[in-house]
Structure 1
Amino acid sequence: MAVAIAVVLAGAGFDTQQAAAAPLSGFYTPPAEIPSESGAIIKTAPMTILATLPTESGWPVQARHVMYSTRLQDGSPVAVTGTYIEPNGPWQGRGPRPTVVIAPGTSGQADRCAMSVAFSTGLTVSADPSPSVSANQELPSSAVWSALGARVLVTDYIGLGTPGIHTYANRIEGAHAVLDGVRAANSLAGVGPETPVVLWGYSQGGGATAAAAELQPAYAPELNLKGVWAGGPVADLAVILQRIDGALIGGAIGFAINGMLARYPELHKAVDRVTSPAGRAMLDELSDECIGDVIIEHPFLKTSSMTIDGRSLSEHLAGIPEATPALAELRVGSLTPAAPVLITSGRNDDTVPYTQARRLAEDWCAKGATVTFRTNELPPILPGATIPNHYGPEMIDGFGPDNAITYLLDRLADRPVSGCTLD
C-alpha cells in the first residue's frame, strides 16, 4: 500500500523525495491524568497538510493534530491521537453537514507508523533505528470527504504514536478509538450528538468500523450513526492469520500476535513454548516496524521460520487452549449494528479472506441488522502479492462506480434501506 500511495502522491504533484524524517514530537506524550469521559479533548496542535490531490477542496489545508480520550479493552481510560480536518466549503450532500471518522488500514506497530505522523507531507522516511517508510494511506479518502464539505477525523488507533503497544485488529479497542473519535470531532466542531455521522474503513479499518457499528448501540448510543462502510474487513483474525502467512505482508501476523500478548497475558508462556529464539526476536523486531518496512525487509514471511518445529504460528494458535477464547472475543459479528452497514469484499482477496467477510454479513443478517454485502469480482493478479488483489478492490469499491461514498451519501440523505442484500 505504501507503494500505491507514493504513486498517488507523485501524481498529485508531491515529490516523495522531499519527505523528511522527524522523531515523534512531544505532542504524543499524554498527561499523567487521562479524562474519564470518553472522547474528551486532551490537547490539539495546528497541522498544515502539504500533500495535495486534484480536488476542489482547497488543499493544502489547515488541520489539527488532536489527542482525545478513549478506553482500553478493560475499560480503563487511555489517550489516542488523530488528525482533524474542518471543511473549507459548504456541505455538498443532502441534510446537515456530517462528521466522517476514517479508520486507517494497516500501517504497522511502531509509533512512527501512526497515520498522523505521515499526514502533513503524505510520506515519512526515517533512518533511525533503521531505514523505515510510512505513508498516509488515508490521503485519498480524507481529501474526497473534505472536498464534499464533511468534517473529517482520522484516528491513529490506540498505541500508535502514544505509549503502549498498538493492539492490531483488536475489535474492542479499535471500535472505541473510532467511536470516541466521533465524540472528539463533534466537540472540536462545537456540534451536538444529533450531528449525522458515517464511518469509513478498509482492511484493518474495515474491521474497526465494523466493530464500531456493532458496539455503538451500547458504547455510544447518543451518536446519530447513519451508515458504515466496512471494506475488506478484518473480522476473524484466526482466518486472516492463516491466509496471510507467506504473503507479501505476512509479517503483519507479528502485529496481531504482539497485540494479543499485550491484552491476554495468559498467552505469553504458550507462545514462548512454540516460538524459537529467532521467532521471538522477529516478533520483537516487528513490534517496531511499519507495513512498508515489512514489505521491504520481510516480504513473504512464513511464520514456520519462527517456530520450534517448523509449523506455522497459526497452526500452533489453533492448538493453544488459551488462544481460543481470545480469538473468539476478537472476532467481529457477535453483536448487532443499529445503523446500516455496507460490507464489500474481493472474491479473490489474497490477504483478507472473502469467506470471513461474507460470514460477518450473514451473522449480522441473522440478527436482523440492515446489511448490504457486495462481492468484488476482480480476477486474481499475482496471488500473494497483496497490492493488486487486496487494495485493488478498495479503489474500486471505495471510489469507483456505485461506490461506498454513494452508499453513505444516500444514508446521509435518509434514503431508505432495510433488510439484507447479499450480492
Structure 2
Amino acid sequence: MTIPAFYTPPADLPAENGALIRTEPLPLALSLPGVDSPLPGRATRIMYRSTDSTGQPVAVTGAYLEPAAPWLGLGPRPLVVLAPGTMGQGDQCSTSLALQRGLVVGADDGQTTISIGYEVLAAYRLLAKGIAVVQTDYPGLGTTDRLHTYVNRVDEGHAVLDAARAARALPGTSITDRSAVGLYGYSQGGGAVASAAELQSGYAPDVRLKATYAGAPPANLTEVTAAIDGTELAGALGWSVSGFLQSEPALQAIADKYLNDSGRAALRDLSTMCVGDAIFGYAGRRSTSWTTTGQPLSDIIRTEPALRAFIDEQRIGARKPTGVVRVATGVHDNLVPHGQARTMAADWCKLGGAVVYDPVSLPATGSPLINHFGPLLADQGPAVDWLAHRLAGLPALSTCALLPLQP
C-alpha cells in the first residue's frame, strides 16, 4: 500500500534531538465532535529528529494528541509518551497511520497486509484523564528511508525521549516546560520505555521524567528469542535479525554463515509485514528451518561471540532508571517470559532504583500469544490509573523489599 509522502524524511535533518522536522493535522479514525474540539482530542502527525544506536541522526514519526478533557491535577497538564507494542516492520504498520485508519487492510505486489491500531485503547484512557499523549513510531517504522530496528534498546529509548522533546516544541499545545512526563509501554513498548528510563539521565536530562509503566518488557533478548521461536509470533525473530543487521553491519558475516535460502527469503518477506500478516504467515514456524546447521537462532547467539556481545548490549536492567517505574508482567507469560522481566525489576532494585513490581496473575492457556496479551488488557486500567496518580503528584513507595516474596 502507498505510504503518504509525509513519511519520507528530508535529506538534511535539524541539529538538535527532538527538533520538529514537519507536522500536519492527523484525522483520527475514532473521534466524535465536541464543543471546543473533537473528542477525545485533536491530533497532529509529527516528524522529529533523534539519534540512533550508531550515533547518526534519524528522522522519526509519531503523533501528538491534545486532550479535550481538562487536567484536574496540580500544575500544568502532564505528558505521557506512549511507546507502541509490536506493530511489525513494514512502513504501513506505523501506529500514527493506525490512529488515522484504525484498521489497515491492503494488498500490494501480491502481499495482503493487516494492521490494527490497538494502542488507541491506552491513548484514549490517558486523554480521558486530561493527560496529553505523544506516540512514537520508532526509527524506520513509517519513515521510508530505513528498516525498523525492532527491539533495538538505544534506538527505541532515544525515540521515546525525543518524542517528549518534540511534543514540548509543538506550538499551540497546553504542554509547558514544567509539564511532568510519564512513559507508557507494553511488550516492545515496555522495553522501549524501560530503556528510555535508563537513558534519560545521560541522554535527555531536560525531559522531566517522573514515572514509567513498563509492561512485559523484552529485557533479555536471548531468553525472548528462545521463547518466541515456534509460537504465533515467530515472525518477530525475522524483524529482530533484520534490524540487528542494519544497526551492526559487521554481523552480516554471521548471517551469511548461518542463514539458508529459506531464512533469507523469510527475512525479506517479513520486512514488509505487520504483526497480523506475520501471525497468519509464520505462526508456528521454527528458526531451525532458516539455518544451514539446523540450529535455532537462540543457539547461534550463544555460540557466536560477536552476536552474543551485541545481544548482551541490548539487555535492559544494567542501568539505574530515572523516576519511579512500575514493572508489570504476567506470571504465565511464556512469549516475553515472565522470569526475565522480573529479573530486570530485581536488577533495578539492586541498583537503588524506585521500582513497583506487579506480577499479573491470569489463568495459563495453551497459547503463548494469549498468555502475553491477556495481561495487557487486564492491567491496562490499573496501569493508566497508577501513571495518572504519579503525574498528579501522589507518591509511590518502592516495593523492592517485597519482590523476593513475589512470583
Q: State whether TM-score is above 0.5.
A: yes
Q: State how 1:144-159 maps to structure 2 within 5 Å.
A: 144-159=125-140
Q: Distance in 2 between matches of 1:413 and 1:363?
A: 28
Q: Distance in 1 between matches of 2:42 and 2:176?
A: 23
**Aligned partner (choices 81, 93, 108) of residue 101 of structure 1:** 81
Residue 191 of structure 1 deviates from its aligned partner by 4.1
Residue 184 of structure 1 deviates from its aligned partner by 0.6
How far does the alpha carbon of each residue in 1:146-169 deviate from its partner, in whole angstroms, 9 at most, with x for none? Answer: 111111111100001111011100
Q: Distance in 1 between matches of 2:40 and 2:393?
A: 32
Partner of 2:376, secondary structure, is helix
What letter is aligned with 2:76?
P
Q: Distance in 1 between matches of 2:11 and 2:258?
A: 38
Match of 1:383 in 2: 367
What letter is aligned with 2:378?
I
How far does the alpha carbon of each residue in 1:279-309 deviate from its partner, in whole angstroms, 9 at most, with x for none? Answer: 1111111111111101111111111111113
What letter is aligned with 2:383?
A
Q: Distance in 2 between matches of 1:193 and 1:223?
A: 9
**Aligned partner (choices 64, 82, 91) of residue 44 of structure 2:** 64
Equivalent residues of 2:40, 2:128 under 8 A apart: no
TM-score by length of 1: 0.90
Residue 52 of structure 1 deviates from its aligned partner by 4.8
Q: State how 1:298-377 maps to structure 2 within 5 Å.
A: 298-377=282-361
RMSD value over aligned CA atoms?
1.9
**Aligned partner (choices 121, 126, 151) of residue 106 of structure 2:** 126
What letter is aligned with 1:286?
L
Match of 1:18 in 2: none
Match of 2:209 in 1: 225
Partner of 1:131, secondary structure, is strand
Match of 2:14 in 1: 35
Q: Distance in 2 between matches of 1:224 and 1:191?
A: 12
Match of 2:251 in 1: 267
Equivalent residues of 2:40, 2:127 under 8 A apart: no
Match of 2:386 in 1: 407
Match of 2:195 in 1: 211
What letter is aligned with 2:372?
H
Residue 126 of structure 1 deviates from its aligned partner by 1.1
Equivalent residues of 2:41, 2:127 under 8 A apart: no
What letter is aligned with 2:315?
R
Partner of 1:230, secondary structure, is strand
TM-score by length of 2: 0.94
Q: Distance in 2 between matches of 1:390 and 1:93?
A: 33
How far does the alpha carbon of each residue in 1:173-229 deviate from its partner, in whole angstroms, 9 at most, with x for none? Answer: 100000000001111137443210100000000000000001001111112111000
Match of 1:16 in 2: none
Partner of 1:49, secondary structure, is coil
Equivalent residues of 2:77, 2:175 under 8 A apart: no
How far does the alpha carbon of each residue in 1:57-99 deviate from its partner, in whole angstroms, 9 at most, with x for none? Answer: 9536431110011111122211100011111121144442101
Q: Which moved more, 1:316-325 or 1:97-106?
A: 316-325
**Aligned partner (choices 356, 375, 379) of residue 393 of structure 1:** 375
Residue 171 of structure 1 deviates from its aligned partner by 0.6
Equivalent residues of 2:49, 2:162 under 8 A apart: yes
**Aligned partner (choices 39, 47, 55) of residue 75 of structure 1:** 55
Q: Distance in 1 between matches of 2:117 and 2:308?
A: 34
Q: Which moved more, 1:81-90 or 1:57-66?
A: 57-66
Match of 1:111 in 2: 91
Match of 1:161 in 2: 142
Equivalent residues of 1:95, 1:412 under 8 A apart: no
Q: Distance in 2 between matches of 1:87 and 1:70?
A: 25
- Tell me how many residue pairs correspond in the alignment: 397
Partner of 2:27, secondary structure, is strand
Match of 1:23 in 2: 2
Q: Which moved more, 1:206-215 or 1:24-33?
A: 24-33
Equivalent residues of 1:40, 1:183 under 8 A apart: yes
**How many percent of aligned residue pairs carry the same amino acid?**
41
Q: Distance in 2 between matches of 1:378 and 1:229?
A: 19
Q: Distance in 2 between matches of 1:151 and 1:289?
A: 30
